[in-house]
Amino acid sequence: MSADDLIRQVDNLGRVFAAEIEPLAGEQEIRNAQARYLGKKGTVSQLMKQMRHVPAAQRKRVGSVFNRVKSSIADAVAAKLRQLEEVDKASDLARTIDVTLPGRQGAIGRLHLVTQVWNEVVEIFSEIGFEVAEGPQIDTDFHCFEALAMPKGHPARDMQDTFYITDDVVLRPHTSPVQIRTMTSQTPPVKIIAPGVVYRRDDDPTHSPMFTQLEGLLVDEVVGLSDLKGVFLHLIRRFYGKSLEVRFRPSYFPFVEPGVEVDMQCAFCMSGNPACRVCKGTGWIEISGAGMVDPDVFAHVDYDAEKFTGFAWGMGLERIAMLRHNVNDIKHLYEGDVRFLRQF
Ligand code: PHE
């Protein structure tokens, strides 16, 4: 093969290579193409072997053409790879966040229905001068029973199915121990409410082992059941937004005398409609236990029962929440199903 033939062929290979990598878009493909030409067994290297047929005087000229073609192939590869990198960078940029778009809204939580009712009821009582008092959820037998005129062995202790931790320490089964804690730490007049969680060994559609009560206590020189009635009228008229009536029915709690159950007029049928599922046609709904503080309780806290009288009540907050929203199973309040809770 003549020197000129060889030069033509090498030049041709350079042009073919340029055309071959032009459409390639992947780094690996480009490198493979490079190897097919410049690799040990590549087409350029194969052609180089023809050099031995070229007369010695011509070799330098031919060799420089080989070098030019090889470096043009290497340059073309480098340029092609740079170009790929630019394309990648550009598409990365196109993917970046558009900060002018509105953000995705996170789910907004809200207060649990019982907490809403708790806050609302505290607000309603504070309008008529009641202050919030607190006590521990784990309390002593003395505060939960003894000082409330239920000595050990008293049959009324069975009214609350209490969780005992030791013989003298319990999960409070009602908020009434806060009455005792308040009276042992302050002198009359006393005017408090004590909302709080209580525990009982109880579990059915209207009872949960943990629930929420709101205790109330008012002690002063001249206090009667009529005042208690006024307090309840204020509560239910504000809470239900209707002019509902209140009635007392005689009942028994060891720490009050007399003891009553407080009923409110049925807010759903108003009149005792026989078809009403809420009041079952009676027209009344029981909402609280209450009564005049028993002198025996005053004796436990060193209050002068000759000088002071007082009333107390304890009501379930779940119950009035369920009544207001027509919820028929207390479990709904504690299962944590957001589809239910979201409604409130
Ligand atoms: N502590 C009583 C209960 O849980 C309710 C109550 C409180 C009754 C205050 C009368 C006075 O059942």
Write out the DSSP string of 227-263. HHHHHHHHHHHHHHSS---EEEEEE--TTEEEEEEEE
Ligand 1 pocket by C-beta < 6 Å: which residues? Answer: 174, 176, 253, 256, 289-291, 312-314
The predicted model gives 138-167 an average pLDDT of 91
Q: Map out the domains of the chain as residue ranges.
A: 3-94, 113-341
DSSP element (H, E) containing 170: strand 169-171
Residues recorded for the chain = 344
Q: Residue 324 Cα, ligand 1 centroid: separation in angstroms?
A: 21
The rounded Å distance from CA 172 to ligand 1 centre is: 12
Residue 96 pLDDT > 80: no
Q: Pick the atom of ligand 1 nearest to 315's CA.
A: 5
| Distance of CA 254 from the midpoint of ligand 1 (Å) | 9
Homologous superfamily assigned to 113-341? Bira Bifunctional Protein; Domain 2 (3.30.930.10)
CA distance 99 to 8: 57
Nearest CA to ligand 1 atom 10: 290
Kindly report, residue by residue over 181-192, the tens digit of the pLDDT: 999 999 999 999
Q: Are 192 and 212 in contact (CB under 8 A)?
A: no
Nearest residue (CA) to ligand 1, atom 4: 174
If DSSP codes are grouped into helix, strand and coil, which group holds residue 310? strand
What pLDDT is stored for residue 327 in this prediction?
A: 87
Across 51-55, 84-88, 149-153, 326-330, the highest mean pLDDT is recorded for 149-153
**Whose Cα sits closest to atom 9 in ligand 1?**
313
Counting from 1 in the atom list of ligand 1, the atom nearest the Cα of 216 is: 9
Residue 113, pLDDT > 90, answer yes
Q: Give 22 Cα–ligand 1 centroid separation in angstroms.
A: 90
Cα 177 to ligand 1 centroid, rounded to whole Å: 10
119-129 pLDDT per residue, tens: 999 999 999 99
Reply yes or no on whether the pLDDT at 179 is more than 80.
Answer: yes
Which ligand 1 atom lies nearest to the CA of residue 159?
Answer: 12
- What's the 262 CA to ligand 1 centre distance in angstroms? 11
In this model, does residue 159 exceed pLDDT 80? no
Q: What is the mean pLDDT of residues 332-339?
A: 88
What residues have CB less than 8 Å from 265, skipping those under 6 apart? 244, 245, 246, 283, 284, 285
- Burial track 78-108 (b if 16+ CB lie within 10 A, e otherwise): eebeeeeeeeeeeeeeeeeeeeeeeeeeeee
Q: How many CB atoms lie within 10 A of CB 23?
A: 7
Atom of ligand 1 nearest to the CA of 174: 4
Nearest protein Cα to ligand 1, atom 6 = 314
CA of 291 from ligand 1 middle (Å) equals 9
Residue 35: count other Cβ atoms within 10 Å of its Cβ.
12
**Nearest-CA residue for atom 2 of ligand 1:** 314
CA 148 to ligand 1 centroid distance, Å: 10
Cα of 150 vs centre of ligand 1, distance in Å, is 13
| 32 CA → ligand 1 middle, Å | 88
Give residue-wise pLDDT tens across range 200-250: 998 887 788 999 999 999 999 999 999 999 999 999 999 999 999 999 999
User: pTM score, two decimals?
Assistant: 0.70
d(CA 310, CA 295): 10
Ligand 1: which atom is nearest the Cα of residue 259? Answer: 10
Substitution candidate for ligand 1 out of 160, 171, 174, 190 with most atoms within 8 A of CB: 174
- Kindly give the number of the ligand 1 atom that is closest to the alpha carbon of 314: 7
- pLDDT score recorded for residue 173: 96
Tell me the pLDDT of the chain averaged across its residues: 92
